[in-house]
Structures are given as C-alpha cells and as structure tokens.
C-alpha cells in the first residue's frame, strides 16, 4: 500500500492512526498533515482554500530539475512529441482552474524550451488530436522491432505501414550496455532467445531463424531433421531438396531477442518480408531463406 489521501476532522487524526497501527504490528502507518493549506498526493498538490474548497495543481518535488528527453537526443520524433503531449495532458487533467492551468502550461513551455524543443513543435503537438479509439483498437498484422537509426528507421516504418505492420524501435547500443557489466557475460551460444544465421556450404544462401532456446539446441534439431522424420527444418529441407551441404560451423547468433521479431531483409534491392504466424515465443516462428 502506498499513498492514501483522506479528509478527517483534526481531532480524529491521531485516534484513527492509532487504530490502523493496532491492527497488524508488522505494518506501520505514518501520517502527513497539510502544511500551509497544501498537501501533495502522487503528482498532485491539493490546496485547501480559505473558503473551504479544494483546488488542485501539478506537484513537483523541490529537487525536480525540469529535465526531460532532450530534443537533440537520438530518439524517434514520436517519443519527443509524446513528452510534450504527456506534460500538457497532465496539466489539463490535474489543474482545477483555468488560472492554474495557464500557469502550468507556461511552466511546461519554458521547461521544454530549456530542453531544446522549438516553439513550433510544441504548438503542433498541442494542437494534434488524440488518435481515434477505433484506430487504437485495430490490431496490426505483425509487429517489427528495429534498432532506431535516425532517418533510416522512419523510412522503414513508412514502408511497412501500408502493409499493416506496426514498427517499434529499440535502442541498439547504450553507454550502460558498453560500460556496466556487473556479471560475467553468458556466452552467446548459451543464451536463450536469439536470432541466428546458418549458411548453406554449397550455394551460400543463409537461413535466419529465431528460437526461444539456445542456438546450440536449435542447430542440433536442424541437424537431426536431416535423418529424422520427426523434426521439421527448412534448413534440412533445403539440403535434401537441393543435395547441398549445410555449413554447420557458420551457425552464429546475430541478435539476442526475447520478443517476437520480424526480420526485414533486403535481397537484390527488393524488400522481402515473411511474416511470423505465431505470436508465442517459440522456435520456428520465423523462417525464411535469404539469397
């Protein structure tokens, strides 16, 4: 249990607190009373006006520095627009009076400018209408998770949108990933949830697949499929159909990924996409050959 706000006659506060603390000795409740007619609750400051009414404004800790995602940082523009919208949405929903709302909006504008946001972007984001509920409810055919690279990722997103494929971005390398290693790294061959590649030793085309287990385990199954009818493998199928020899030693992990991934491959200048059918994180949820 976290914060709870309530209104009680002053004389009842201490008896009520004593009662709460008498119920279970391992649970200790504390109380914070209003000071100067104000009390903060979550991200709201509740003001107790002299005429007995209550008004609300946005609460910020004294140590709050108004630092938000910098406009210059390497993030999709949608994340920056979301920062603006969230702040203004909070101002609109929390501030009880027009006066408080205008003060809060002016504060947000100056804070955003301090973080490098141009006035034009702030105004446009404020004017944009929220997405219609029907649009939000529609489930895309598939989701692609791509490392975010400015200007490139946006292009891919635009190409995939008419195909009803949602694009999500992830960070590729952060300073934290580079510098912070509290534990010995697990070798990639022993990591679960990977995207891997294995090549045909005869025609040199590659197979890219995803598994929720380790690459070692999955490659073993591909090999078993060469001799066993109980295992299915597109790699083994290719080897048998074409009488080619798979270069098992070429098997390598190309990414660690615990989510369902849809890999986008450029082949001979044409964008080729093969969708994943299962939404569960299983083997074989993605398989195709890449020339």
Which range of residues in 42-50, 171-179, 185-193, 196-204 is near Zn ion by CB under 5 A? 196-204
In the complex, the smallest distance separating the C-beta of residue 219 from Zn ion, rounded to whole angstroms, is: 16
* Other CB atoms within 10 A of residue 285 CB: 19
Strands 206-211 and 194-200: antiparallel
Interaction of residue 89 with Zn ion, rule CB under 5 A: no
Annotate each residue in 152-191 with x if it binds Zn ion (CB under 5 A) or - if it does not, as one string.
----------------------------------------
From the CB of 140, what's the least distance to Zn ion, in Å? 34
Measured from the CB atom, the residue of 105 and 244 that comes closer to Zn ion is 244
Cα gap 244→65, rounded to integer Å: 63
Instruction: Give the CA count within 13 Å in the CB-facing half-sphere of 57.
Output: 18
Closer to Zn ion by CB, 44 or 202: give it: 202
203 in contact with Zn ion (CB under 5 A): yes
Count other Cβ atoms within 10 Å, centred on residue 47.
Answer: 16
Q: Which of 45, 202, 216, 250 binds Zn ion (CB under 5 A)?
A: 202
Residues within window 259-288 making contact with Zn ion, judged by CB under 5 A: none
Cα end-to-end span (Å), the chain: 57
Stretch that binds Zn ion, among 164-172, 194-202, 253-261, 270-278 (CB under 5 A): 194-202
Number of neighbouring beta carbons within 10 Å of residue 48: 15
Question: Pattern 102-141, binding to Zn ion, x per CB under 5 A?
Answer: ----------------------------------------
If the CB atoms of residues 143 and 202 are measured against Zn ion, the closer one turns out to be 202
- Distances from the Cα of 275 to the Cαs of 77, 79, 180, 262, in angstroms? 27, 26, 35, 7
Q: Would you say 4 and 41 are in contact if contact means Cβ atoms under 8 Å apart?
A: no
Bridge-based pairing state of the strands 142-147 and 165-170: parallel
What would the two tokens of residue 103 be?
């003060």
How distant, in Å, are the alpha carbons of 176, 193, 225, 247, 252 from that of 173? Answer: 8, 18, 36, 30, 20
Q: Which residue is nearest to Zn ion (CB)?
A: 200
Q: Cβ 179 to Zn ion, closest distance in Å?
A: 42
Task: At 251, list the tokens.
Answer: 């098997």
Residues 167 and 172: their CA atoms lie apart, in Å, by 15
> Taking contact as CB under 5 A, which single stretch among the options 89-97, 185-193, 244-252, 279-287 is the one that binds Zn ion?
244-252
Contact pick of 200, 215, 257, 286 for Zn ion (by CB under 5 A): 200
Residue 197 lies near Zn ion (rule: CB under 5 A) = no
Binding site for Zn ion (CB under 5 A): 200, 202-203, 244
């Amino acid at each position: 249990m976290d914060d709870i706000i309530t209104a009680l006659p002053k004389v009842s506060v201490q008896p009520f607190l004593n009662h709460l603390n008498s119920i279970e000795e391992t649970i200790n409740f504390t109380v914070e009373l209003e000071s100067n007619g104000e009390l903060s609750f979550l991200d709201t400051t509740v003001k107790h006006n002299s005429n007995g009414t209550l008004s609300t404004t946005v609460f910020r800790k004294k140590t709050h520095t108004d630092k938000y995602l910098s406009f210059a940082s390497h993030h999709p523009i949608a994340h920056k627009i979301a920062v603006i919208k969230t702040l203004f949405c909070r101002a609109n929903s929390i501030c009880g009076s027009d006066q408080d709302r205008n003060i809060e909006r002016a504060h947000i504008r100056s804070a955003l400018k301090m973080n490098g946001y141009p006035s034009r972007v702030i105004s446009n984001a404020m004017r944009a209408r929220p997405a219609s509920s029907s649009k939000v409810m529609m489930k895309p055919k598939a989701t692609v998770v791509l490392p975010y690279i400015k200007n490139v990722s946006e292009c891919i997103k635009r190409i995939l949108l008419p195909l009803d494929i949602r694009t999500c971005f992830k960070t590729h390398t952060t300073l934290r990933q580079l510098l912070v290693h509290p534990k010995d790294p697990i070798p990639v061959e022993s990591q679960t949830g990977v995207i891997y590649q294995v090549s045909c030793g005869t025609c040199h085309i590659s197979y890219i697949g995803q598994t929720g287990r380790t690459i070692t385990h999955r490659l073993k199954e591909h090999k078993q499929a060469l001799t066993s009818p109980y295992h299915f493998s597109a790699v083994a199928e290719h080897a048998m159909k074409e009488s080619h020899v798979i270069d098992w030693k070429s098997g390598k992990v190309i990414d660690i990924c615990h989510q369902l991934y849809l890999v986008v491959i450029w082949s001979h200048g044409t964008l080729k996409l093969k969708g994943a059918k299962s939404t569960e994180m299983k083997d074989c949820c993605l398989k195709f050959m890449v020339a």
